Every structure is written in structure tokens, then in C-alpha cells.
Chains A and B, each alone.
Chain A
Amino acid sequence: MALDKTSLDLSRPIYMDNNATTPMDPRVLEAMMPYFTEKFGNAASRNHAYGWEAEEAVEKAREQVAKAIGANAKEIIFTSGATESDNIAIKGAVEMYAEKGNHIITLLTEHKAVLDTCRRLEREGKAIVTYLAPKPDGIVDLEQLEAAITDKTIMVAIMMANNEIGVIQPMAEIGEICRKHGVLFFTDAVQAVGKVPVDVDSMKIDVLAISGHKIYGPKGIGALYVRRKNPRVKLAGVIDGGGQERGMRSGTLNVPGIVGLGKALEIAIEEMPSEMKRLTYLRNKLKDGVMSQLEDCYVNGSMESRLPGNINISYAYVEGEGLLMGLKGLAVSSGSACTSASLEPSHVLKALGVGDELAHSSIRYGLGRFTTEEEVDYAIQITVEAVNRLREMSPLYEMAKAGIDLKTVQWNHH
């Protein structure tokens, strides 16, 4: 494949890690700017114009956020980001619904903000948590989910779209099960909101977390949807203070951030139909491009129920961090242990039953609003080159080619 590299700016790696974070859309920055300087008021200042204009901006953003998920503005509270939203949702429910029960059901493939919150509650003796393994394609087993519900269950916490493998859960079906059993349905929808349609009513979602920086908005801002009727959900706050955000999240509101989040969602919703089409096309082109040129590579997670811009592929016989080094012209990430602080391969891929060696060999490509077709062509080309080069250097590839079954080899673990 001949590529005209001169038209690509290769002075920096091409950004293809939009599941980690996204660049801010210039239109979002523009909307935010006045709220840093001349419109700097505290939205809680009720007795002067500075406070009023800040409050007005916050309420406009609240409308924008609510509209993006089919909610009412009164049901939105602003937080510092999705990690905080996840913490309030789970800890707040455990505290508020202690009389009803203490059981939470979640998935092994959840984000650490959910898993580690659950683990702390278990450690502190405040909750009992069931961690369900998803099916091999990453999707929750609905029968297993329903069977796990007890009379002590207060909440089901299942993310809408996974950050590593982009798999989208059957929200309406999960919501139906939760409603039937009178259990709250909380979803971390950070990767989904603004990317695919979300409707809290038809999906019967009770609590939902949103992040600004995954949707071309600013970092340090997030939101939490808390249902007000049928059922009316109440969550205890995690941070004590001035009682802002209906008492669920004290602290002076981050007005510029909130304005940015609202604007980012407004844009995302408006452009969603065309973006979904465009990103699905590019993502499939990337997948087909590498998989038609390389043998022994595997897509992690369902292809049928997946975010448009995400693809996660394991390249057998090649280690992920070594591969990332070969893909230095590309900013992507790997599920390899070496790339994380924990020295453990991706917990998401492990939960899918992907073997450790293939988890070490995985690359996540996250395409986004600013990804071009030219960049995708480049990604295909350098991935194929790097994988081929590293396979020539790989003892595992050599053994596999010689017909040795790698699973029967006695490895000396270290």
C-alpha cells in the first residue's frame, strides 16, 4: 500500500486513543472562555448579577445534559468527573438504602472506579458484592444477572459501553430486569453518552454517570443523572459542605467546566447520526485492513454490539508493549501488563476468558471525531509492518510455525 505521507503530520504520533481521552472541540473551548474571566461568578451567589449569570449558564448546561439522555434537568447533578459520579452512585446508594439491603451486582469488566468502590465497601463490611463474569463476547448473561438478584439486592451496576473493548450492554433488558425486581439500575455511561443513543426512560436507567473529557469536553467535569420519579432515587453525598446539587454534591460549581460539558453534549448529539456512520466505516476499515494482511489476530469483544470508534485486537506471538514501541507513530494503548502500573494484564480481557498471552498481545484503537481516513490507512500500514517485524523476532511465532502447540510447552514461570 503506497501512502502519501507528506499530507499527514507525523511530527507527533497520530492520536488514536479516544477511549482514554479526547481533545477538546474548539467550539467547546469557545463557549467556556467567558466563564473563566468576565463571567467568573459563583453560581450560588443569589444576590448579584455575577452569580445570576453563572447560575443561568449552569442551568442551560443542565438542560443540555438532560436532553442528551432523555432526562429532566432537575435530575442532573454536576461532579468532578465520572470517578466521582461512580463513587456517589454506589456509596450513596449503599448508605441511603441500608435498610432495604446491602447487596450489589456488578460485572468483572467494569471500570476500576466501580470495582474498587465495591471492593472498599466489601472491606468495610458495608456491602456484599456479586461480580458476574460476562459471556466471551463481553456481554452480560441476562439469566445469570436475574438469578443473582436477592431480596437484599439494592443496585445493579453495569456500564453501558466498555472502555477497553467498546462492547455495549443490552441496557433496556437489564433495566427491565431491575425494574421487575425493584432494584436500582446504575450505569457508568462515560463511553456511550454522546456516541450512541441513550434514553434513561426506555432503558429504565435510575442512575447514570457522564464524563466531560470523553466527549470532546474538558477534563475535571462530570455529571450524574439521578432519577426523580418512578422510582425517586436518593443518594447520600460523599463530600460534605455547602449542600449544592440537591445535597448530593457539595462544593462550588465548576462553571466553565459545566458550560463545556453542556456544549460538548449538544454538539455530540447533533452530530451523532453522521459520526456513528463515519466512525463505523473507519473502524471496520481498520479491522479489515489489518486482519486481511495478518494471520492469527483476534478481535476482543462483540463486533455486533460495539461502540462505532472502538476496536481491540490481539496479535498472537507479539507482546503488546513491544508492539506499541513499533507503533511509535501511533498513540494507542495495550492490555499488556507492562503498560499498566499494576503489572497485571487487562482485567477486562481476563474476564472475557482471553488467555494471558493474548491479553498481553492486545492493542486498543480508539477512533474519534478528528480521526481521518488517511490516518486509518497509516495505522493499518504501520501495524502490519510492526507485527510482521516482531513476529520474525518472536520465538513463539517460530514454534507455532514449526507446528508446536504452545499450550503443551512446559514454560518456566518467573
Chain B
Amino acid sequence: MAYSTKVIDHYNNPRNVGSLDVKDEAVGTGLVGAPECGDVMKLQIRVNEETGVIEDAKFKTFGCGSAIASSSLATEMLKGKTIEEAEKIKNTELVQELNLPPVKIHCSVLAEDAIKAAIEDFKKKQAAKREKAQEALANA
């Protein structure tokens, strides 16, 4: 199967490969997929806790070229968006931008899942942080 030039570009020059500190309260981590299925994506966002803007995004992916390209593109799209805007990212945008063939749609779905999982993780951390603060306030 021939890959689109955009997939090849992301595969050869992946944007934002790397890791953020999982324990950081401003960081949300999404880990989706399974090794047995042939794709695992780890996608992380660092959110400005004041403004809710995603200031950094990183990924690591085990998978085919289309999976790598989907997660690479996702990190690019996430940067600069607010959490609310990021929640609206749809896999179809990735499909269109990367010209993914039908057999590779699942790669874009996985990337969307990874975004959602990272956001959810960030929100959970923030909720826990608020709860802690309230507890501390009540005990004070």
C-alpha cells in the first residue's frame, strides 16, 4: 500500500515525540490501544491551569506509519487549543488531513481516543486537586 506524502512526512519527521511528567498536575496522559492489536498510543498534554490552554503536547506510538502520523498530527493540533476546543477534535479531521485510506481509519479513531483520555486524565487530576484544597480549607 502506498502512503500519502503527509503520512510519510509525519513518519519521517514526527512532531512532538517524547514524554511529559506523568505526576505533574498540569499534565494529562492518555494511553490507548493494546500491543496484541498492533497499536498503542501514549498522548500527553500540559495545560495552563489558569487559562485552560494546552501549552505542550507529546506522544509516543507503537504502530504502523498511519498510527504514528495520526498521533503526531494530533499533538500539533492540540497545541494552543483550550480544553474545550480540544474536546471537539474529531478523527475525521485527521483522516482528511492525512488522506488515510479506509483500512487506516482505526488509527485516527485511536488518536481521538488518546486525546479524550488525556483530557479526562487532566480533569480528574484537577478535580482531585480541588477536593484536596477544599478538604484543607475545611480542616483549617
User: Across the interface, do A413 and B36 meet the contact criterion of CB distance under 8 Å?
Assistant: yes
User: Across the interface, do A395 and B11 meet the contact criterion of CB distance under 8 Å?
Assistant: no
User: Across the interface, do B40 and A395 meet the contact criterion of CB distance under 8 Å?
Assistant: yes
A322 at the binding interface (Cβ < 8 Å): yes
User: Across the interface, do B33 and A325 meet the contact criterion of CB distance under 8 Å?
Assistant: no
A121 at the binding interface (Cβ < 8 Å): no
B41 at the binding interface (Cβ < 8 Å): yes
User: Across the interface, do B34 and A395 meet the contact criterion of CB distance under 8 Å?
Assistant: no
Contact pick for A396, options B17, B40, B67, CB 8 Å: B40
B63 to chain A: closest CB distance in Å? Answer: 5
Total B residues in contact with A, Cβ cutoff 8 Å:
31
User: Across the interface, do A396 and B37 meet the contact criterion of CB distance under 8 Å?
Assistant: no
User: Across the interface, do A322 and B67 meet the contact criterion of CB distance under 8 Å?
Assistant: yes
User: Across the interface, do A411 and B33 meet the contact criterion of CB distance under 8 Å?
Assistant: yes
User: Across the interface, do B33 and A412 meet the contact criterion of CB distance under 8 Å?
Assistant: yes
* Per-position 1/0 for A370-403, Cβ under 8 A of B: 0000000000000000000000111111100000
A-B contacts counted at CB < 8 A amount to 88
Interface residues of A in 341-356 (CB under 8 A from B): 343, 345, 355-356
Stretch in contact with the other chain, from A62-70, A122-130, A313-321? A313-321
Q: Which residue of A lies closest to B35 (CB)?
A: A357
A46 at the binding interface (Cβ < 8 Å): no
Q: Given the known inter-chain contacts A393-B14, A395-B31, A398-B19, please indicate yes or no for A322 contacting B68, CB distance below 8 A.
A: yes
User: Across the interface, do B65 and A321 meet the contact criterion of CB distance under 8 Å?
Assistant: yes
* Per-position 1/0 for A124-165, Cβ under 8 A of B: 000000000000000000000000000000000000000000
B46 at the binding interface (Cβ < 8 Å): no
Q: Given the known inter-chain contacts A325-B3, A414-B106, A414-B110, please indicate yes or no for A395 contacting B38, CB distance below 8 A.
A: no
Q: Which residue of A lies closest to B113 (CB)?
A: A414
Which residues on the A side are within 8 Å of B109 (C-beta)? 414
B108 at the binding interface (Cβ < 8 Å): no
B61 at the binding interface (Cβ < 8 Å): yes
Contact pick for A393, options B8, B33, B34, B61, CB 8 Å: B61
Interface residue SS majority, chain B: mixed
Q: How far is the CA of A320 from the CA of B64 in the complex (A)?
A: 7
Which residues on the A side are within 8 Å of B62 (C-beta)? 317-319, 322, 394-397
Q: Which residue of A lies closest to B39 (CB)?
A: A319
User: Across the interface, do A412 and B34 meet the contact criterion of CB distance under 8 Å?
Assistant: yes
A8 at the binding interface (Cβ < 8 Å): no
Question: Which one of B31, B32, B40 has the greatest number of beta carbons of chain A within 10 Å?
Answer: B40
User: Across the interface, do B61 and A325 meet the contact criterion of CB distance under 8 Å?
Assistant: no
A294 at the binding interface (Cβ < 8 Å): no
B6 to chain A: closest CB distance in Å? Answer: 14
Which residues on the B side are within 8 Å of A414 (C-beta)? 32-34, 37, 39, 106, 109-110, 113
Q: How far is the CA of A337 from the CA of B35 in the complex (A)?
A: 12
Question: Which one of B32, B36, B68 has the greatest number of beta carbons of chain A within 10 Å?
Answer: B36
Q: How far is the CA of A169 from the CA of B36 in the complex (A)?
A: 29
Which residues on the A side are within 8 Å of B32 (C-beta)? 412, 414
User: Across the interface, do A322 and B65 meet the contact criterion of CB distance under 8 Å?
Assistant: yes
* Per-position 1/0 for B40-74, Cβ under 8 A of A: 11100000000000000000111111011000000
A239 at the binding interface (Cβ < 8 Å): no
Q: How far is the CA of A412 from the CA of B65 in the complex (A)?
A: 21
Q: Given the known inter-chain contacts A325-B11, A395-B41, A414-B106, please indicate yes or no for A355 contacting B36, CB distance below 8 A.
A: yes
User: Across the interface, do A322 and B34 meet the contact criterion of CB distance under 8 Å?
Assistant: no
B139 to chain A: closest CB distance in Å? Answer: 34
Query: Which 4 A/B pairs are nearest by Cβ-Cβ distance?
Result: A411-B34, A357-B35, A356-B36, A395-B42
What are 21 A-B pairs at a CB distance below 8 A?
A319-B38, A319-B62, A319-B64, A322-B63, A325-B64, A336-B64, A338-B38, A343-B103, A356-B35, A357-B36, A360-B35, A393-B14, A393-B68, A394-B61, A395-B31, A398-B19, A411-B33, A411-B35, A411-B36, A414-B37, A414-B113
Beyond A321-B63, A393-B17, A394-B62, list 13 extra A-B contacts (CB 8 Å). Answer: A319-B64, A320-B38, A322-B68, A325-B65, A357-B38, A393-B14, A395-B62, A396-B35, A396-B40, A411-B35, A411-B36, A411-B40, A414-B33
